[in-house]
Amino acid sequence: MTYIAKPRLHHPSLVKNKAGFTRRDYEGAVSTLCAGCGHDSISAAIIQACYELDILPHQVAKLSGIGCSSKAPTYFVGASHGFNTVHGRMPSVMTGANLANRDLIYMGVSGDGDSASIGLGQFAHVMRRGVNMTYIVMNNGVYGLTKGQFSATADKGSISKKGVANSDSSIDMVSLAILMGATFVGRSFSGDKHQLVPLIKAAMDHKGAAFLDVISPCVAFNNHPGSTKSYDYVREHNEALNRIDFIETREEITTSYDPGTMKTVQQHDGSILRLRKLGEDYDPSDKVSAMKRIQEGMHAGEVVTGLLYVDPTPSDLHANLNTVDVALNTLNAPDLCPGNAALDKINASLR
Partner 1 sequence: MLKPTDIANPDYFHKVVDCQWACPAHTPVPEYIRLIAHGRYSDAYMINWKSNVFPGILGRTCDRPCEPACRRSRVEDETLVKGKKEPVAICRLKRVAADYKDDDDIDAKMPKAPEKNGKRIACIGGGPSSLTVTRDLAVLGYEIVIYDQDPKLGGFIRTQIPHFRLPESVIDEEVGYITGIGNIEFRHQRVDSLKAVLAEGYDAVFVGSGAPRGRDLDVPGRKEAAANIHIGLDWLSSVSFGHVTKVGKRVIVLGGGNTAMDCCRTARRLGGDDVKVIVRSGFDEMKASPWEKEDAIGEDIPILNMLVPKEVRHEGGKIQGVLFEKVVAKYDDKGRRSLVPSGEPDEFHECDDVLVAIGQENAFPWIEKDAGIEFDKWGLPQLNEKTFASTHPKVFFGGDAAFGPKNIIWAAAHGHDAAISIHKVLIGENPEERPAPGVNIASQKMGIHEWSYDNAPTIDHRLKVPHRPKHEALKDIMTEVELGFDPQLAFKEAQRCLNCDVQTVFTGQLCIECDACVDICPMDCITFTENGEEKELRTRLMAPAMNPTQDLYVADGLKTRRVMVKDEDVCLHCGLCAERCPTGAWDMRKYYMEMTQAEHACRKQ
Q: In what order do the strands lie in the sheet with 209-215?
A: 81-84, 60-64, 105-111, 133-139, 209-215, 184-189, 303-310, 238-240
Tell me the window of 97-105, 138-146, 229-237, 336-344 that interacts with partner 1 (CB under 8 A): 229-237
- For partner 1, which is the closer residue by CB, 21 or 231? 231
Tell me the window of 146-154, 167-175, 185-193, 313-321 that interacts with partner 1 (CB under 8 A): 185-193
267 binds partner 1, rule: CB under 8 A: no
255 binds partner 1, rule: CB under 8 A: no
Q: What is the DSSP string of 245-286?
A: EEETTTS---S---GGGEEEEE-TTS-EEEEEE-SS---TT-
223 binds partner 1, rule: CB under 8 A: yes
CA pair distance 126, 91, nearest whole angstrom = 6
Question: Strand pairing of 184-189 and 303-310?
Answer: antiparallel
- Name the minimum Å distance from CB 190 to partner 1: 7
CA pair distance 129, 135, nearest whole angstrom = 13
- Name the minimum Å distance from CB 244 to partner 1: 19
Query: x/- site string to partner 1, residues 121 to 140, per CB under 8 A?
Result: --------------------
272 φ, ψ to 5°?
Answer: -120, 125
> How many residues of this chain interact with partner 1, rule: CB under 8 A?
34
6 binds partner 1, rule: CB under 8 A: yes
CA pair distance 188, 55, nearest whole angstrom = 22
Contact 206, 183 (CB under 8 A): yes
57 binds partner 1, rule: CB under 8 A: no
- For partner 1, which is the closer residue by CB, 134 or 216? 216
State whether residue 80 is helix, strand or coil: coil
Contact 242, 284 (CB under 8 A): yes
40 binds partner 1, rule: CB under 8 A: yes
CA pair distance 106, 204, nearest whole angstrom = 8
According to CB under 8 A, which one of 128, 161, 193, 277 is a site residue for partner 1? 193
- Name the minimum Å distance from CB 65 to partner 1: 23
Residues 284-343 that bind partner 1 (CB under 8 A): none
159 binds partner 1, rule: CB under 8 A: no
Torsion of CA 131, 183, 123, 27, to 10 degrees: -70
- For partner 1, which is the closer residue by CB, 34 or 120? 34
271 φ, ψ to 5°?
Answer: -75, 150
21 binds partner 1, rule: CB under 8 A: no
226 binds partner 1, rule: CB under 8 A: no
In degrees, rounded to 5, the angle at the alpha carbon of residue 132 between the alpha carbons of residues 129 and 136 is 95
Question: Strand pairing of 272-277 and 242-247?
Answer: antiparallel
According to CB under 8 A, which one of 231, 237, 276, 315 is a site residue for partner 1? 231
97 φ, ψ to 5°?
Answer: -65, -40
According to CB under 8 A, which one of 37, 215, 247, 294 is a site residue for partner 1? 37
- For partner 1, which is the closer residue by CB, 120 or 219? 219
1 binds partner 1, rule: CB under 8 A: yes
Contact 214, 137 (CB under 8 A): yes
254 binds partner 1, rule: CB under 8 A: no
- Name the minimum Å distance from CB 3 to partner 1: 4
- For partner 1, which is the closer residue by CB, 29 or 100? 29
Rule CB under 8 A: which residues touch partner 1? 1-14, 24, 30, 34-38, 40-41, 43-44, 190-191, 193, 217, 219, 223, 231-232, 235
